[in-house]
Chain A
């Protein structure tokens, strides 16, 4: 079992819709979670991070974390064609030799069509 798994894509949504990206993780010791956006040919760009149970909102983006279910999600409201990219979920353990290290999911390709 992979440590971080993302829902299989690709995901296609119409412009203006809500895009829902999901991620599960296997290690209950995981502390923080990060969502990155990666455009083709570019490096990953940090969108959101979350480390507490519940929701965290930033503009059109909402990250949700449920540690009991080991589940992380990213909602993109009012999706725009410019949101079309690969979205990467990553988790990290805190402390010891694992401090700061990110384990990435396989990524979900999102396409927002006009």
Chain B
């Protein structure tokens, strides 16, 4: 499986600010995704990060709030903009790999907004 790293691993931010989370994969992958896991909850897909084109967002998530970049096949960023305490969550990137398109997750970024 692909090795995925995320930076930062955690951060504490003030409301109204923005944070950019980086996701780096050790091999080229076709599909990259960003998920959110709110405290005590399951995972919710934010968007699919498309290489060379705009990300595809799920219902309830918009580009102005969660801009995503994917400049190449091994790297993506997710920005959480104009943060509020409700954005406090774990943000995870994932990639598909293998002949059965298994999906693997990065270690996550734990965000706390005060």
Interface residues, chain B, with chain A CB atoms under 8 Å away:
1, 31, 33, 41-45, 48, 56, 58, 90, 92, 94, 96, 100-108
Contact = CB atoms under 8 A, between A and B. Distances in A.
A49 B100 CA distance: 9
Contacts, number: 55
15 contacts: A34-B102, A34-B103, A42-B107, A43-B92, A44-B43, A44-B92, A46-B102, A49-B102, A90-B103, A92-B103, A100-B31, A101-B48, A102-B33, A104-B44, A106-B41
Contacts of A45: 105
B46 to A, nearest CB: 11
Contacts of A104: 42-44
B103 A100 contact: yes
B32 to A, nearest CB: 9
A54 B42 CA distance: 26
Among B31, B92, B96, B103, the most chain A Cβ lie within 10 Å of the Cβ of B103
A92 B43 CA distance: 14
Given A49-B102, A105-B42, A100 B33 contact: yes
**In the complex, which range does the number of interface residues on chain A fall in?**
20 to 34
A100 B48 contact: yes
A100 B104 contact: no
B100 A32 contact: yes
Interface in A63-97: 88, 90, 92, 97
B106 A101 contact: no
What are the nearest 3 A-B pairs in CB distance?
Answer: A43-B105, A100-B31, A104-B42
B106 A106 contact: no
A51 interface: yes
Contacts of B105: 36, 43-45
A101 B100 contact: no
A101 B33 contact: yes
Contacts of A34: 102-103
Interface string A43-58: 1111001010000000
Contact of B101 (A32, A90, A106): A32
A51 B99 CA distance: 13
